[in-house]
Structures are given as C-alpha cells and as structure tokens.
Amino acid sequence: MNKPDLAQQDDPVKSAFGVRTVLLFFCVLLLSWPVFGLVASFFSVWHGEAVLLDSWELEPRRLLLQSFIEGYIHTLIVTVPVAALAVVDYKLFARRKGLQRYTGLAWFSVLGCASLVIALWLVPKAGLFLPLLVTSVFLLIGYRLFIGLFRMNR
Amino acid sequence: MKCFFKVFSPFFIAMLLVGKSYATDTAIVVGGGYKLSGSQGQIEKNVKWVQSVLKEAGVSVYTYFTDGNDPAVDVHVIDSASTAKPELEALARVFGDIEGALTRRHSNTVADNQGSTRASELMPALSNILSDTEGVPLLVFNGHGGPSRKGQDEVTLKLWDETQVSARQLHELLEKDSSDLRYVFTQCYSGGFHRLAYKDSEGGLELSDATRCGFTAESAWRLAEGCSASIDSSDYRDYTTFFFAALSGKTREDDVLSNVRDVDGDGEISLRDAHLYTLEHANSSDLSRSTSEDFLDQWLPWLDRWLPASAALPDNEYADLSERLALRLDFEDPVPSGKQIRGVLQEGEQHHERLRIQARDIHYEVRGIARQLQQQVFARWPEASSPYTQGFVSLANSGQLQEIDEWLERQSQYPLLREHQLRLTELSDLMLQAERSAIQVRKLLRLRRLARIKGSLYDKGREQHIESYERLLACENLPLDSTKSEAPNTLRQVLSASDSSD
C-alpha cells in the first residue's frame, strides 16, 4: 500500500483561510447593496419623502423588487472593488498582526472618503451622503466582527 | 438618406421642436361599460357632455358607445337610496337587493352613435378613422379598465360584450401606420396607456416616431374615480369632469371658470393646461398623469429611487402647483417638510380605516338581522324560499309578496336593519370623502416629486432625453382645436421633408 503523499495533502489552516477569504468576498459583495437599501429606507421613512415610500404604497411589490435587482447590478462596479479590498485587507491583517491598526484606519478612511467622493460626484446633495456613510459604518463594523471572530478561532 | 440625416441631425432636431401647423380637428369618443351591470349612467352623461364640448369647439366627433344603436337596454342608473322609496322596500332590504330595487335601466340615448364598442368592431373602425385623418386626432375613452399582472402595456379597455383591447394591441395598431394620436383615458389602470407614446410598448424611453401624448386619470396600478351610477352630475368629480370643464371654460352646470391658467403663455388653453387645472382643483381620489409626467417617472435615475428626497424644490410649474395645493390643504408653509405631509397623510388614512372598520361591523350586523328575518319569512311562507318555482309564482300572483312586505315592516328588528343600511350608504360616502382628502395629500407629494425629477432632468439628463421630454410637452400643449396652433412635427414628417429635399 502506498503511503499518502503529505506534500499533496491540503493544509487545513490554509484551506480554512481560503474559505474565509471567499466567504468574506461574497459577504461584502452580497450584503453591501441590501444594507445600503435598508439604511436608505430608514432615512426615507425618517425624512418622510422619497420615491421609495411612494412605490411601496402605490405600486406592485414586483416593481420594487425589479428596482432592487437593478440596484444590485448597478452597484457591482462599487461592491466588487470594495469586496476585493476587504480580502486584501484581511490577508494583510491575518498575516501581519502589527499592521492591524493601520488597516483598520485605512478602512475608515477609504470608506469615509469613498462615500464623500461618490456623494459629491453622483448627487451634490446630502441625501446620498448619509445613507452611504451609514452603510460604510455598518459594513466596517460587520467586517471587524468577521475578523475578530476568525482571529479568536485561530 | 441615412448619411444625410446624420450630418444634418441638429437641423432636424431644431425642425422637430419648431414644427409646422396642420389640421387636427377630429375626435373619437369611445364610451360605456362592458355589460349592463357595468354600464353606469355617469358614463353616458360624461360621453354626452364631452361630445357637446368637442362639437362646440368645432371638432368633428366620431362616437362609439356600448352596443351602438341596438334598442336593447345597455345603461343603468341607481336612484339615491336616501330619497327614493322603492316598491316592496322591506323585501328588498331583507333579501339584500336594495340597490337592484332602486335601479332603472334604459337603452342609451347618445346622439350620433356610430356603432358598438365591441373590440372586433371598434378596432377596424379606429384604424379607418386614423388612416383617413390628417394631423393628431384625439381619442377619448370613458368607461372601465382592466388591470395587468405583467407589464404596464397589458392593461385593458373593457369594451361591450365583455371584450377588451390592451394597451399593447392599441400600440400595435398605431405603430402599423405610425399614426399620430392624443388621448384622454379616464378608466381604472389607465396609466398603462402612456406606453402608446413610446416606440416599444413594453419598456424603454425611446419615443415613437409619431406624435403621441395623452392624459390619464390614474397610473397603471390604481383604480380611478368616476364609475357612479348616480344621476346627479354635480357630484361627479372624475377626471373627465374637470379636464373638459377647463377646456370649455365652464363647468357641467354652466358656471364660468375663470381660474384656468395658460401655463405656457401662448394665449390658448391647451390640453396640458386643462390637465394642470385638474391636478390643482379636482378633489377626487385620482392621481392623474400626463405622458410627459410618465416620462419623468420612467426617466428617474435608478439611485434616486432609493434616496430620500431633498428638502428644496426647483423653480418649475409643478413646484408652483404644489405650493398652491399645500396652502389649500391648510399647511402653514407652502413648502412643508416631508414629515409634516406624511403626518397629515397618516391621519387621513387612519380616519379612512376607522370608517372602514365601522362599515364592516355594521355590514356583519345587517347580515345577521337580515338572516333572522329571512328565516321567519320562510317559516311562515315556505314557498318564498324557492324562487323560480311554481309555488313562488303562485305566491307572487296571489299578492302575498305585498303581505310579506307589510309583515316585515311590522317586525321589531326591521327599523334597525333599515337604519343600519342607510348608515352604510352614509359611511360609504364618508369613506369616499376621506379617501379623496388623503389623495390630495398624496397628490402634493407627487407634485413635489415631479418638480424634483423635472429639475433633475434639466440638471443632469442627457440631451436626447430632454428633447424627448420637450417633444411630449409640445404635443400636450396643443389646444383642443389644434388647427389654431403650431403642432410639433413627427420624426416621420421631418424625414419625409428631407426625402423630398433629397
């Protein structure tokens, strides 16, 4: 009987790391737009006036769903780079503990600045800035929890 | 030819906006229900009135109403339940058909009725008129509409003998000969017919090459007001009543209207002026819209659908309208905050909901009392439980129905039943009023939304979208008799002009 080739066996630590990386990428990719939608809805209700509220009350739900899916597709241009950035950050953070402080700071800066830039670029009004900023903060909190959770397990 | 058009496209676009005049003095009025029980007196009255307004303006009118000139009954009217006293009233109240007892039926008396509205007869007739007419004819539909479970263009006109024509079918008919058309549709779900103005009936922002625009009482997703069987026209608050009153300059009761604004300042009251007047003054449950407004809704960028609206309003006619409406609705500030408006809307809707619950409870009570009385009648007169039998015929022929009616009136529960039924009629009116009030607040929100989208279109919209919007505005701004005005050219006409210049 041949002995198993140890070199060909998957390293369980590396494999788990890979799964987490993929998980992180898809979490950011899939959750960014729904979180944005949720935050924007909250602000719309709080503000009292938004197309979203009128659509919810006066149009069939399927149109809202279409609009939601449309939003998913349109935001891929933003969410894919953000998800990639999260993966890069996670890899740096996981391998070099000394850099964690800086990556955290970098995230705050990147997301905050990105929100501001996108807000100013797309619509020069505060209406967009607030939901984007709050979405960023939620994503960041989620991300930090993700990192913390897997760091404890290591 | 294509190269020529490419090189000189700015010239053509300019021509498109300048336009030239041509005769457009034909109107097609289609009206009536889809069967007797759905053919209310109000529709007949509306059609007659619209005919008179159009004829007075010098427009030749083709009318198609229910079963055409068939002498069979095709219209019903219901006398007011609070004033009329039908024969055998107690029987009607206890056996649940008081409305039936108050209903009168007749054959339509619409003048110059060209024929029936059955889809198989109406569509060829429309096709003939449209192909024989120069310019932009006006199609007015006054009747019922059916909803769509799929796209906007699947909404329907419900026509006589329960036939129907969808927006898509009408779009196909118009596209076949690239026919121009203006339309006023007042039925439920009428907003789906705005797709007639676009190249693709299913979706997209590209306009048809032909000149098409119109006005609808509602969106593609909501019921419209105005299918009452009441004969009191002073109660009518449907889109037709306000729209054509603004065009004719006087109400249905012949009172002169002095407050119709000429928004584009061309000295004529255009169809769009009439629509804006209706938006401002109609205290109905409709959220009416024009094709250019539908265009703004369709154009709205995807991200703006998900964002709270900005507090400021741009300077345009919708903002002005919203400010006047806000003051009429007793807001202190002409530009109240979104939160204030929502607060008032919520109050209105809660009031409506309270009335609805009250009506539902009384309805259950009425049903209970009626059942008790019915059981007592069946115990005393067993033949009464089986109508359409020989026993029942004997009972009716012997005059015992009168006897049962008198007996019912003497029962102790009967006065309560009658009182509750009258209260239900009253509650139904109150609910309609509450709904109308709530819709005025919704209208305020809609006008502010249109003001913002229009501002946004001019701020950051593409030039081709602004041009399309302005083409629609030019079409809507035609007066009733557009021979008096400069009409916008269709792309087809521009192309044929360039062909001849080739």
Q: Which residues of B touch A43 (CB under 8 A)?
A: 307-308
Residue A138 pLDDT greater than 80, yes or no: no
pLDDT at residue B161, as a whole number: 96
B86 by Cβ neighbours in 10 Å (0-12 / 13-18 / 19+) ranks as middle
How close does chain A come to B247, measured CA to CA in Å? 29
Residue A115 pLDDT greater than 70, yes or no: no
Sign of CA dihedral A131, B449, B144, B141: negative
The residue-averaged pLDDT of B279-292 equals: 94
How close does chain A come to B151, measured CA to CA in Å? 10
The residue-averaged pLDDT of B337-350 equals: 95
The residue-averaged pLDDT of B136-155 equals: 94
Residue B20 pLDDT greater than 70, yes or no: no
Cα distances from B309 to residues A12, A38, A74, B333, in angstroms, run 51, 16, 20, 18
pLDDT tens digit string along B168-198? 999 999 999 899 999 999 999 999 999 999 9
Q: Which residues of A touch B309 (CB under 8 A)?
A: 47, 49-51, 127
The residue-averaged pLDDT of A20-26 equals: 87
Choose the closest CB to A51 out of B287, B442, B449.
B449
Choose the closest CB to A50 out of B222, B309, B343.
B309
Choose the closest CB to B308 out of A36, A47, A54.
A47
pLDDT tens digit string along A32-62? 889 888 888 888 888 899 999 999 999 999 9
Choose the closest CB to B302 out of A50, A53, A74.
A74
Q: Which residue of B has its CA nearest to A55?
A: B305
The letter for the amino acid at A102 is Y
Q: Which residues of A touch B307 (CB under 8 A)?
A: 40, 43-44, 50-52, 123, 127-128, 131
Q: For residues A126-143, b (16+ Cβ closer than 10 Å) or e, as one string?
A: ebbbbbbbbbbbbbbebb
Choose the closest CB to A60 out of B221, B341, B445.
B221
DSSP string, B377-435: HHHH-GGGGSTTSHHHHHHHHTTHHHHHHHHHHHSTTHHHHHHHHHHHHHHHHHHHHHH
pLDDT tens digit string along B390-410? 988 998 898 899 999 999 999
How do B75-78 and B103-106 pair as beta strands?
A: antiparallel
Choose the closest CB to B341 out of A37, A49, A125.
A49
Local confidence band at B5 (pLDDT 50, 70, 90 cut-offs): very low
pLDDT at residue B13, as a whole number: 38
What's the rounded Cα separation, in Å, for the pair B156 and B170? 10
Does this complex have an ipTM over 0.90?
Answer: no
| Contact call for B307 and A71, based on CB within 8 A | no
Q: Which residue of A has its CA nearest to B189?
A: A59
**pTM assigned to the model:** 0.83
How close does chain B come to A123, measured CA to CA in Å? 9
The mean pLDDT value of chain B amounts to: 87
| Contact call for A50 and B307, based on CB within 8 A | yes
pLDDT at residue B495, as a whole number: 40
* A&B contacts, CB < 8 Å: 86
pLDDT tens digit string along B463-490? 999 999 999 999 999 888 765 555 444 4
| Contact call for A58 and B221, based on CB within 8 A | yes
Which is more confidently placed, B502 or B27? B27
| Contact call for B303 and A36, based on CB within 8 A | no
DSSP string, B141-163: EEEEEE--SS-GGG-EEEEGGGE
**Both tokens of residue B337?**
């905050």
pLDDT tens digit string along B69-100? 999 999 998 876 556 677 788 998 998 777 77
Query: Which of A46, A47, A78 is the best residue to mutate to test the B interface, defined by the most B CB atoms within 10 Å of its own CB?
Result: A47
DSSP string, A32-88: HHHHHHHHHHHHHHHHS-BHHHHHHHHS-HHHHHHHHHHHHHHHHHHHHHHHHHHHH
pLDDT at residue B274, as a whole number: 95
Which is more confidently placed, B233 or A129? A129
Q: Does B338 touch chain A (CB under 8 A)?
A: yes
Cα distances from B423 to residues A113, B98, B358, B372, B426, in angstroms, run 63, 14, 10, 20, 5
Residue A123 pLDDT greater than 80, yes or no: no
What's the rounded Cα separation, in Å, for the pair B403 and B491? 74
**Both tokens of residue B56?**
């007075």
pLDDT tens digit string along A60-72? 999 999 999 999 9
Query: Which of B293, B307, B322, B439 is the best residue to mutate to test the A interface, defined by the most A CB atoms within 10 Å of its own CB?
Result: B307
Using CA atoms of B434, B437, B438, B442 in order, give the dihedral in degrees to the nearest 10.
160
How close does chain A come to B272, measured CA to CA in Å? 24
Residue A145 pLDDT greater than 80, yes or no: no
pLDDT at residue A113, as a whole number: 67
Local confidence band at B500 (pLDDT 50, 70, 90 cut-offs): very low
pLDDT at residue A116, as a whole number: 62
Q: Which of B357, B327, B173 is nearest to B165 (CA)?
A: B173
| Contact call for B221 and A59, based on CB within 8 A | yes
Q: Which of B34, B74, B40, B27 is nearest to B165 (CA)?
A: B34
CB B295 within 8 A of CB B468: yes
Number of neighbouring beta carbons within 10 Å of residue A80: 14
| Contact call for A51 and B342, based on CB within 8 A | no
